[in-house]
């Protein structure tokens, strides 16, 4: 069963060019949540899935993990009310140097604020780290990568009162070297952009995900949960990742 990746929930603003595909319309998101509810899927947070995988505990047959990358404000204003309506938890990965802290809401920064993040946490949403400044980690020195990975964990520990458990690689860029830094910083799990809808415990620091786009129809969404999707992608991944790492 999949870990889903979302970015924005909302109508794509006309000035958005590069990332217009990452905007999922609220009515599509709601349809997807209704489908998950109707099919009896149990929502987990990344931290819960990590514990299940680490401890070899059993998991409901039909589970789904809903994740959001980057910490956009629409996750709070638009996604969260829908998640509440359908009783699904989620994990939101934030870049700690980009939070809208202390800025007026018209400053052009459309990230969540600390107050909004705290409200989400109080209501069962998990906050994970997506680094401090969203760099491509594989291009950084050990020292700089450590600052982004461990530093953002310290930032969140100060903001939220306890350190985050989960991490997401910006641009999905990871390597054995970067994974080691993530593990040593104290995270229990990390999600990647490897495409698959089944997860294994040996993937705990590069868990595969399935990306939901603005163009994802409900039938495509349903396909993303299927064994056929898994068969296609595990074959592709074998070719792509064999030898490389």
Please name the helix (run of DSSP H) or strand (run of DSSP E) that holds residue 244, with its range, or none.
Answer: none
| Residue 100 vs 230, nearer CB to Zn ion | 100
Least Å from the CB of residue 130 to Zn ion: 6
DSSP-based three-state secondary structure for 211: strand
Q: Which stretch binds Zn ion (CB under 5 A): 9-17, 77-85, 162-170, 189-197?
A: 162-170
Instruction: Residue count of the chain, please give it.
Output: 245
How many CB atoms within 10 Å of residue 41? 20
| Total binding residues toward Zn ion, as defined by CB under 5 A | 3
Q: How many CB atoms lie within 10 A of CB 20?
A: 15
The answer to the question of residue 48 lying near Zn ion (CB under 5 A) is no
Contact by Cβ (8 Å): 129, 156: yes
Residue number closest to Zn ion, CB atom? 69
* Closer residue to Zn ion (CB): 151 or 170: 170
Nearer to Zn ion, 48 or 69 (CB): 69
Quick one: 31 or 175, whose CB is closer to Zn ion?
A: 175
Query: H-helix or E-strand containing 150?
Result: helix 142-160
CA distance 204 to 190: 6
Site for Zn ion in 167-196 (CB under 5 A): 170
Closer CB to Zn ion, 36 or 66, in the complex: 66
Measure the CA–CA gap between 242 and 219, rounded to whole angstroms: 31
Q: Which of residues 64-93 bind Zn ion (CB under 5 A)?
A: 69-70
Chain residues binding Zn ion by CB under 5 A are 69-70, 170
């Amino acid at each position: 069963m999949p870990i889903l990746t979302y970015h924005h929930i909302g109508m794509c603003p006309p000035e958005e060019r590069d990332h217009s595909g990452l905007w999922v319309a609220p009515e599509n998101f709601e349809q997807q949540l209704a489908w998950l509810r109707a099919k009896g899927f149990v929502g987990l947070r990344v931290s819960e899935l990590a514990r299940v995988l680490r401890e070899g505990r059993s998991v409901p047959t039909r589970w789904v993990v809903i994740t959001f990358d980057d910490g956009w404000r629409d996750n709070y204003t638009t996604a969260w009310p829908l998640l509440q309506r359908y009783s699904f938890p989620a994990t939101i990965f934030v870049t700690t140097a980009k939070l809208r802290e202390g800025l007026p809401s018209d400053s052009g920064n459309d990230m969540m604020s600390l107050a909004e993040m705290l409200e989400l946490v109080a209501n069962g949403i998990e906050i994970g780290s997506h680094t401090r400044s969203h760099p491509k980690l594989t291009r950084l020195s050990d020292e700089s990568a450590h600052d982004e990975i461990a530093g953002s964990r310290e930032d969140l520990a100060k903001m939220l009162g306890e350190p985050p458990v989960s991490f997401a690689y910006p641009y999905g860029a990871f390597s054995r070297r970067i994974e080691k830094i993530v593990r040593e910083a104290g995270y229990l799990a990390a999600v990647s952009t490897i495409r698959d809808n089944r997860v294994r415990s040996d993937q705990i620091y590069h868990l595969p995900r399935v990306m939901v786009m603005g163009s994802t129809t409900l039938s495509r969404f349903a396909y993303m949960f299927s064994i056929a999707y898994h068969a296609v992608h595990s074959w592709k991944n074998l070719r792509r990742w064999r030898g490389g790492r």
